[in-house]
Each structure stands twice: as C-alpha cells, then as structure tokens.
A and B are shown apart, each in its own frame.
Chain A
Amino acid sequence: MTSDRRIALDDLVACPACDWLHRRPALAAGESAVCARCAHELQSARVDTVDRSLAACLAGLLLLGMAVTLPFLSLSRSGIGSSISVLDSFTALWHGDFHWLGILTLTLIVLLPLLRYALLVAVLLPLRLGRTAGQGSRVAFRWVLKLSPWAMPEIFMVGVAVSLVKVGTVARLDIGLAFWCLLAAIAVSWYLGRVLCPDTIWRRLAGPGAPP
C-alpha cells in the first residue's frame, strides 16, 4: 500500500510556478519539458551536469580567490599612487568606520559566492566519485539554490564601471589583474547557471530506489 503510493507520487511532477500536475516526462539528455499551463520549465535533463558543474565550481573558486586577493584597481594622481584589492577595499571601509557597508559588500561579493561554490563542490564531488549522498548533501544543495539570487558579483562590476567613470575625471585609474579575474568569474557563474540541472542532481541525491 505505501509502496504503491510512493510510486504513484514519484511518477508525478508539479510545475514550480503554477502547481499544475503532470506525469513525469521521460526526458533524454539535453531535453527539457515545459508546463502545459504556464510554459515555465517543468523538468530538464541537462547534459553531463555533474562533471560540467563541478568544473565550473572549481574554476569559479580559483578565479574568485584570485579576484579577491590580487590588485583590483590602482589609482594615481600627481605622482602619488596606490593600488587596492577587493579585500583591501573591505579593510578600508572597516577602518573608516563604515562597518555595515564593508560587511554588506564583502558578503554579497565574496562570502556568499564562495560559500555557494564550496557547498556545491561538497555536493557534487561525492556524486562524481560514486559515493552515496547523505542528508548533509541534500541540506547543502538546498542552500546552494536558496543563495543564488543573493550573490551579486555581476552587479558589483557595473558599480565598479560607474565608479571608474566618476573618478576617471579626477585621477588616473588602472585596471589590475583581479578585475579580469572577477569578469571571468562572472562568465563562469553564468555558465554554471546554464549547466547546473537541479532536477538531475536531486534525483542523484535521492539515491537508489528513486525514479530514473
């Protein structure tokens, strides 16, 4: 009786945007199904999602690490020059007694993206190595999905571009290596958004006995 009910339940999917019930579509790799009522994506089966997402995460961690520590911008005006990294900008804000602005920026630009990548590596690596996933992995993956709108490096970059134009009239600004690293990190996170397939990963995390 209970096993009957479970099979029936796992044979169904509901649209995340409108709750309309569908039979679980049988998708081949690379296909996706849309909701019959609201046309929102219902299920997808992206190609090779674990390997590609893992690669993107590792690249993202490396690039973000470099973007945070290497010189980001250097400023020079009448012979006096200085260069700052993203971390320096946090300490500058902190020592200038602008604690909340420093913490907010650091959290949205550095901490949340790093945390998100680290959690995702912790979820994907066991899957890649063929280990069975524990409850910890599922909680971690839930947080990965929850955190994604709050990681804002791409918005920060637009802010930086605006600041460059504003300061450009007063002093000479040079772009450091970290600037390009952050730009590359944004490209990687965009790629991750395209290859990460939550449906597939949830099914892998459910382990054996779950629907195919």
Chain B
Amino acid sequence: MATACRPGCAAVNPDPVIGLSARQAGLARCGACGTLDRRGDRVVCRLCGARVHSRVPHGLQRVWAFLLVGVLVYVPAMVLPVMLTRSLTMRSDDTIISGVLQLAGQGSYAISIIIFVASICIPAIKFAIIGGLALSLQRGWNMSERSRHRLYRLTELIGRWSMIDVFVVAVLTALIQLGTFITIAPGPGIEAFALSVIFTMLAAGSLDPRLFWDQDTDARSRPR
C-alpha cells in the first residue's frame, strides 16, 4: 500500500507490495486517465477512449525527429533579425543577441537578463538535456534513474518560458503600429524561434519518463 499523507508531506512508501512495473505485470496504463488494462487487450482505453500504449510508440525516434527540427530552426532564429524598427531617422534590424546587448547597453540589465535566459539559456539547456537523456537511454549510460527523472521534470517546467521573446515582438508590433513616427515589424527570425520552441516542447512531450526506469532495453526498442 502506498503511503497516504497530507499535502506537502513527501513521505515515501517503505514497503511496496507488488514490486513490478505495470509493463512487467503485463499491464498498460492509459496515458490520459490512468486506467489499467491488459497489455495488447485493447487499443483504446475502456474509460476515456484514448489510445493506450504501455510506452510512447517509437518514443526515442519521435524525440530525435522533433529535437532535430528544433535545433535546425534555432540556427536561423539566432542569425536572422527578429525585430525590424523603422523611423524617419533610423532603421535597425535586431537579432535576439543584438537586442540583449542593446538592452544591457541602455542599462536595463534585468530585462536583458530575462531575455537572455528565456531565449538563449533555456533553449540551449533543453537541447542538451533532451538529447543527453535520449542518448543515455540508447547507449545505456550508467546514470541514476532519479537524476534522469529530475532533469526531465526540469525541461518540462522551463520549456514554455522561451516563448517570452515571441510575445515581446507581438506586443511591440501591435503597440507601435498605432504610432506614426516609428514602426516595428517582426523579422523572419522570430518565426523560426517560435517554431524552435514548439518543436522542442513536442520533443520533451515525446520523451517517455517511464523508459528511465525500464531495466530491459526491450521496452525501449519495441513499438508498443
């Protein structure tokens, strides 16, 4: 019996009575509602109607596909301008990096740090963690389940925050359209950046955390 505890308490059950994963017991857990059924018994869940897979089908292949696209479009996202500013006296095409530097130059350190972390650090960390976890599963690197689990939770938590810069460009464009002296337009880099964030979120979503705990490599290579 799992230990019941008050919210906030992190007591861990000391005596698991079953000692198997659902997969080892020949069961599959519905990813949407948690209903258990015999593996292979049904393709759809008897409660919620979702497709039931013991593990995300072709999980690691999906991770690599999404991650690769995410990394590829991150290159134009960094190189191409994300914001085109036009006025009577000046025109400037800012990339993400030049925007960060410009903000720091104006003394807005807090804002430039926010953008730097959200647009440069978080994507880089996510690429490294997702790629590292996928590699560690494929190559069978010796790594504790718990640290893999923690890294995975971290990517899930921080991934969405990269979108900040996309919203900044959208808000500035919409606001400044109204003025007549200056216009701001989104540059091609921001499209690539938004796509990179979306594909990296999809890659993180395809990484099945249950694979970290599977002892048999069989579970990792089999489709279902």
Contacts and interface: CB of A to CB of B under 8 A. Distances in A.
B134 interface: no
A17 B209 contact: yes
Contacts of A27: 4
Interface in B200-215: 201, 205, 209-210, 212-214
Contact of B174 (A93, A138, A165): A93
Interface in B17-44: 17-18, 20-23, 25, 27, 29, 31-38
A62 interface: no
Contacts of A36: 2-3, 12-16
B169 to A, nearest CB: 7
Nearest to A23: B1
Interface residues of A, number: 80
A9 B2 contact: no
Contact of B145 (A9, A38, A80, A158): A38
Contact of B164 (A9, A40, A104, A162): A162
B2 A35 contact: yes
Nearest to B18: A21
B179 A80 contact: yes
B5 to A, nearest CB: 7
B51 to A, nearest CB: 11
A135 B18 CA distance: 32
A71 to B, nearest CB: 12
A51 interface: no
Interface in A106-137: 108-109, 135
Contacts of A23: 1-2, 17-18
A184 interface: no
16 contacts: A10-B36, A12-B27, A16-B29, A19-B210, A22-B13, A33-B3, A36-B13, A84-B174, A102-B170, A109-B167, A145-B32, A149-B156, A159-B170, A160-B171, A167-B172, A205-B47
8 nearest A-B residue pairs (beta carbon): A159-B167, A89-B174, A36-B13, A14-B22, A82-B178, A163-B171, A33-B2, A19-B21
Interface of B: 1-7, 10-18, 20-23, 25, 27, 29, 31-38, 47-50, 54, 103, 106, 108, 111, 114-115, 118, 145-146, 149, 156, 159-161, 163-182, 185-186, 190-191, 194, 201, 205, 209-210, 212-214
